[in-house]
């Protein structure tokens, strides 16, 4: 169970929690990631709100929360080794886990097929 | 996250090669240029450890000839062109009467003419500047824009010279000029570059550029994009126009007092001489961040008293050093080993002031100079 935002974050449904990261397409577009700034556990976000920053050698990009929720886990290894976002963005390169009281935004996100169609136009 | 290319961009003679190899193309100074082929960090490391090639054909080439070519140009730059012998090149700048910099360039002295290589983004500005001063030559100088005749390939890295060697490279010292025969084509080249490594910048007739590029790739050179060019030049402390250089910065402020050695009259001389004697009010400094967050152009530099004392001119993550580095013009009182802060979004990140460059190549090659 996974859905995608047009801003290239994914939300993987795990019960009433969502594991959030960026897609391989985003990682490829960024190039070598050298810095990631993630929120602390306990911060709450609305859907679409900026929750962090990822920087490649050349550029700074914002991260947007695909579903409203409160951060319950942060992936420290990806902060220590931002290269994980290039090598394994969907698995070891996850960013945060959120707990959502209002998961309605999830259903509005793109399915895998719809996301693939979306990025094929780039 | 993707860059949108709106206006029609100019293409270099190697454009098809870049697209075919899957390079990511971006707009730069009105040109469609490769920013990376594989990875900026991998390309950067290829140049530091072996050799890489850069298409810099977007740069402009102006030919200056006539009996008073050197005398005329010598009134526009702080370099001592009287001391520039045939077969040598010099790094210099067009300077304004105020001492500021119109553009930086390399002047190559060939037997019967000078060739000026200028920045892509400043081609029109430089051409207008030269045209404006041409009447001062009283018809004794001919100025031609030969940019379309030439492709320019920078071949850089510790293996560059040995790889290009077809006979007489060892006789060519730093900033010397030679001719390489590559893929059967004679290519004038200067032992110059913009990476902090040894290497050459090779002029190739535009219609032959792809053959020479293919040869160098076949011989093992890594194609490198503008992304690596920027991280390499910044580590090496080399200024980029629009960042470290502009119409209001002087060579003295930028730490290029060594390049100001024209004994005759030239535009901006009074300002340069005074700044050299009195010391400039501000200086270009390196900043080493004690944090992983890169400082970017425009970020504020803050003194220990909390006062904004400058802005970041260039900032990136240094692949060789493994941490972020930046440059900024700071008041003269800020000297190496002092600590300042850089405002990165809402945080103040400590940064150490250092002298440039951040990186100096190991002195492994024997020094070779023309007698």
Query: What is the ipTM score, two decimals?
Result: 0.88
In a domain, A83, yes or no: yes
pTM score: 0.93
> DSSP letters along B67-113, please?
TTHHHHHTTT-SS-GGG--TTEEEEEEEE-TTS-EEEEEEEEE-SS-
Q: Structure tokens of B104? A: 């930086």
* Cβ-Cβ contacts under 8 Å, A53 against chain B: 345
B4: closest chain A residue by CA = A122
Domains contained in chain A, number:
1
In this structure, the strands spanning B199-205 and B185-190 are antiparallel
When CB atoms are compared, the residue of B1, B230, B317 closest to A26 is B1
CB atoms within 10 A of CB B126: 20
pLDDT over threshold 70, residue B365: no
Cβ(B280)–Cβ(B249) under 8 Å?
no
B192-208 confidence digits (pLDDT tens): 999 999 999 999 999 99
Query: Is the Cβ–Cβ distance between B109 and B88 less than 8 Å?
Result: yes
Distance CA B44, CA A120 (A): 30
User: Any idea what DSSP says for residue A101?
Assistant: S
Chain B interface, mutation test: which of A24, A34, A119, most B Cβ atoms within 10 Å? Answer: A34
Q: What is the pLDDT of residue A103?
A: 84
Provide the percentage of residues in chain B whose pLDDT is more than 70.
Answer: 95
Interchain contact, A34 vs B1, CB within 8 Å: no
Sign of CA dihedral B81, B83, B88, B91: negative
Give me the domain span that covers residue A26. 2-116
Mean pLDDT of chain B: 94
Q: Which domains does chain B have, with CATH numbers?
A: 53-207+239-279 (3.30.1360.120), 281-354 (2.40.30.110)
Does the residue A122 lie in any domain?
A: no
* Position B106 pLDDT exceeds 70: yes
Q: What would the pLDDT profile of B166-199 be if each residue is shown by its tens digit?
A: 655 567 899 999 999 999 999 999 999 999 999 9
C-alpha distance from A11 to closest chain B C-alpha (Å): 19
Cβ distance of A31 and B227 shorter than 8 Å: yes
Q: Give the SS3 label for residue B220.
A: coil
Domain assignment of residue A99, yes or no? yes
Give B-chain residues touching A89 at CB under 8 angstroms.
none
Q: Which of B230, B293, B317 sits opposite A37 (nearest CB)?
A: B293
Q: B210 to chain A nearest CA, in Å?
A: 26
Nearest CA in chain B to A22: B1
- The CATH number covering residue A83 comes to 2.40.50.100
Report yes or no on A29 lying in a domain: yes
| Average pLDDT for A82-106 | 94
Which residue of B lies nearest to A82 if distances are taken between CA atoms?
Answer: B292
């Amino acid at each position: 169970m996974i859905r995608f935002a047009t801003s290239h974050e994914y939300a993987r449904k795990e019960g009433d929690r969502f594991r959030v990261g960026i897609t391989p397409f985003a990682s490829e577009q960024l190039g070598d990631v050298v810095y990631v700034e993630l929120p602390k556990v306990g911060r709450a976000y609305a859907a679409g709100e900026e929750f962090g920053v990822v920087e490649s050698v050349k550029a700074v990009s914002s991260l947007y929360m695909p579903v409203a929720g409160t951060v319950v886990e942060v992936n420290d290894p990806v902060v220590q080794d931002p290269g994980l976002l290039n090598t394994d963005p969907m698995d070891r390169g996850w960013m945060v886990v959120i707990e959502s009281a209002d998961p309605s935004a999830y259903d509005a996100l793109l399915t895998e097929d719809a996301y693939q169609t979306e990025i094929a136009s780039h | 996250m993707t860059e949108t290319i709106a206006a029609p961009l100019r293409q270099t003679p190697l454009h098809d090669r870049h697209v075919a190899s899957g390079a990511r193309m971006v707009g730069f100074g009105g040109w469609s240029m490769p920013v990376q082929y594989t990875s900026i960090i991998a390309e950067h490391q290829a140049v530091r450890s072996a050799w890489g090639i850069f298409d810099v054909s977007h740069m402009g080439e102006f030919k200056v000839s006539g009996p008073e070519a050197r005398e005329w140009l010598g009134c526009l730059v702080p370099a001592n062109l009287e001391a520039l012998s045939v077969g040598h090149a010099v790094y210099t700048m067009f300077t304004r009467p105020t001492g500021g910099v119109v553009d930086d360039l390399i002047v190559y002295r060939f037997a019967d003419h000078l060739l000026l290589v200028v920045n892509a983004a400043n081609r029109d500005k430089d051409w207008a500047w030269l045209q404006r001063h041409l009447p001062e030559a009283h018809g004794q100088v001919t100025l031609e824009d030969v940019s379309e005749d030439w492709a320019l390939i920078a071949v850089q890295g510790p293996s560059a010279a040995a790889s290009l060697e077809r006979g007489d490279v060892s006789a060519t010292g730093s900033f010397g000029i030679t001719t390489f025969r590559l893929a059967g084509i004679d290519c004038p080249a200067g032992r110059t570059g913009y990476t902090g490594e040894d290497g050459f910048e090779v002029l190739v007739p535009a219609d032959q550029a792809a053959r020479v590029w293919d040869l160098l790739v076949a011989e093992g050179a890594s194609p490198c994009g503008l992304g690596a060019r920027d991280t390499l030049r910044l580590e090496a402390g080399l200024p980029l126009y629009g960042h470290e250089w502009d119409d209001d910065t002087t060579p003295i402020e930028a730490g290029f007092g060594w390049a100001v050695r024209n004994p005759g009259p030239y535009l901006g001389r009074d300002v340069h001489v005074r700044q050299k004697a009195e010391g400039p009010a501000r200086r270009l400094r390196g900043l080493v961040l004690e944090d992983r967050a890169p400082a970017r152009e425009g970020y504020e530099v803050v003194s220990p008293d909390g006062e904004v004392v400058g802005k970041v001119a260039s900032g990136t993550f240094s692949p060789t050093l493994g941490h972020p580095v930046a440059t900024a013009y700071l008041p003269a009182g800020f000297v190496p080993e002092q600590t300042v802060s850089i405002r990165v979004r809402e945080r103040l990140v400590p940064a150490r002031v250092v002298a440039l460059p951040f990186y100096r190549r190991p002195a492994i090659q024997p020094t070779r100079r023309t007698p």
